[in-house]
Homo-oligomer: A and B are copies of this chain.
Amino acid sequence: MSTHKIPRHVSVSCWQALIDHKKDISRTSLQEMFIQNPGRAKSFSAENNKLYVDYSKHYITEETIQLLISMAQSTDLNGAIQKLFSGATINWTENKAAMHMALRAPADKTYSVEGEDVSKQVHDELQHMQDFVTALHSGEFRGHTDKPIETVFNLGIDGSDLGAKLVTAALSNFAVSDIDIHFVSNVDINDMNSALEKSDAETTLFIISSKSFTTKETLFNAETAIKWLREHGCKSPDKHLLAVTANHDAAKALGVKDENIFHIWEWVGGRYSLWSAIGLPIAIRIGMDHFRDFLSGASAMDQHFCEQTMENNLPVILALIDIWYINFFHAETMAIFPYDHSLNMLPAYIGQLIMESNGKQIDKEGNQIKYNTSPVIWGGTGNNAQHAYFQCLHQGTHLVPVDFIVSLISNSENKSQHQELLANCLAQGEALMHGHTEVDRAETEWAAYKNIPGNRPSTTILLDELSPATLGSLLCLYEHRCFVQAHIWNINPFDQWGVELGKNIAKQISEELNEATDNNVTHDSSTERLISYYRKKNESC
């Protein structure tokens, strides 16, 4: 196996030109760049699908963008985008396509997976969702004692949890139903018990979401749910169970009725699946019309990504700026700060999307890579995050490119509170860039401690409002940004082999915790000692 210090498909001279250019850029600062060229705010911003993206507060000039685009062109980025949309088997390590764009396309748009048109299947399944949601909302769908459903539990983890949970919370102002929705993901009884205690088995529905229907945590919780239904007098749990899966047989074996099984396809990756029936909780909360708006917003961004030239292509530009920081300025992290309480799960969602997709170190040709890939994604909700983490951004020692996200119009009546959030969001971008030099007057003790160096980069994304369509566009923007990063890094963003090992070891350790039987597995002395410490404590109590 050979190793590579730069992506193998990149033109070496293009990469070197960026290394050289970095030296020039490092001699100036954001403040200076704005003084030299007040027009840069206009040059480095774009409006699309009710998103306004300002990327002018970055270490870039026109030349930087040109050099980044040349570098991207040397890898045939355009060809890669076309290949993604063609439905080719681009997830090569799992022999699958990655055709989540088909899930959100209008009915008259044809998408094929490995040559087969999947548009009709997708829209049939959307109709299936629509029929169910209509029946649920009208009260026609009923539990075992013929009462309408009042509470829904979504049992799923990872891709079958976080996206739906994020969007359901974010769009609560678009709710058309007051059915309670709980998300249970972990094998953690505390996660489920408190919600079950308040629920009524006659009026509670469980959605079991797992593409493979072998996800341990989800099946664990599904069994707990079925047991709870039975213990509460339900003799036909199948009236309270839905499944979203590619594995219909396994769902049926657990007792889910055929008509209550919603299909997802092998060509939909878990962390790209909220656009499918995995999004059922969203549709239950906001209704199918709004859910279709959410899909349309994403589809419009798909079209933008597929059709725009690189200079005007938002996912491309933002991804190339990411590459600029990660591979040339050696930034190890990126932070996401939505200024909206209802988007508080967004940093975790984007973190999952990018870190699980791009936390890789083997390239397309199976070679070890020696350049950095996925950054650590972190963040929080403004204004809270300002009090918690911004000290470190303003006066700490790390370079952290920041994404600020805020909507212009409040979804609630209270305009002044929302304006306060917006003012804080814009102020932080300015403060990070501009910094502050404390005047050292006699009465100003400790001036040095009040200095803020500034020159810290950020992107600002304004949403006209937080709506199904704008949120769809926003999430899709990050999906494609993640794809472009992966393409430049010459890695496969659609697999996740790294998570298998821990699962296998957990299975062994689980046996050993249970009883002191010898399963012939040996561990390092640290793990051995932790296991025996548990056994000792457990026996003594």
Contact surface of A with B, Cβ cutoff 8 Å: 1, 31, 34, 38-42, 45, 52, 54, 56-57, 92-93, 157-159, 161-162, 172-173, 185-191, 193-194, 216-217, 220, 332-333, 335, 340-342, 348, 351-352, 355-356, 358-362, 366-369, 371-378, 380-384, 386-398, 400, 408-414, 417-424, 426-431, 433-436, 445-446, 448-453, 460, 462, 464, 492, 495-503, 505-510, 513-514, 523-531, 533-534, 537-538, 541
Contacts and interface: CB of A to CB of B under 8 A. Distances in A.
11 contacts: A1-B448, A186-B381, A186-B384, A333-B376, A333-B378, A351-B378, A352-B387, A376-B378, A428-B502, A429-B527, A433-B524
Contacts of A157: 383-384, 387
Q: Which of A368, A496, A506 has the most CB of B within 10 A?
A: A506
Contact of A187 (B31, B417, B446): B417
Nearest to A508: B427
Contact of A190 (B191, B342, B366, B409): B342
A189 B396 CA distance: 31
Contacts of A530: 52, 54, 426, 429, 460, 462
Contact of A423 (B188, B333, B451, B509): B509
Nearest to A162: B388
A342 B189 CA distance: 10
A127 B429 CA distance: 45
A504 to B, nearest CB: 8
Q: Which of A376, A409, A451, A464 has the most CB of B within 10 A?
A: A376
A362 B448 contact: yes
A388 B354 CA distance: 9
Contacts of A436: 501
A189 to B, nearest CB: 4
Nearest to A42: B529
Contacts of A537: 408-409, 464
Nearest to A466: B190
Given A351-B388, A526-B429, A527-B429, A186 B383 contact: yes
B340 A394 contact: no
Contact of A462 (B173, B216, B533): B533
B355 A392 contact: yes
Contact of A355 (B190, B396, B413, B508): B396
Contacts of A460: 526, 530
A376 B351 CA distance: 14
A120 B103 CA distance: 66
A530 B430 CA distance: 11
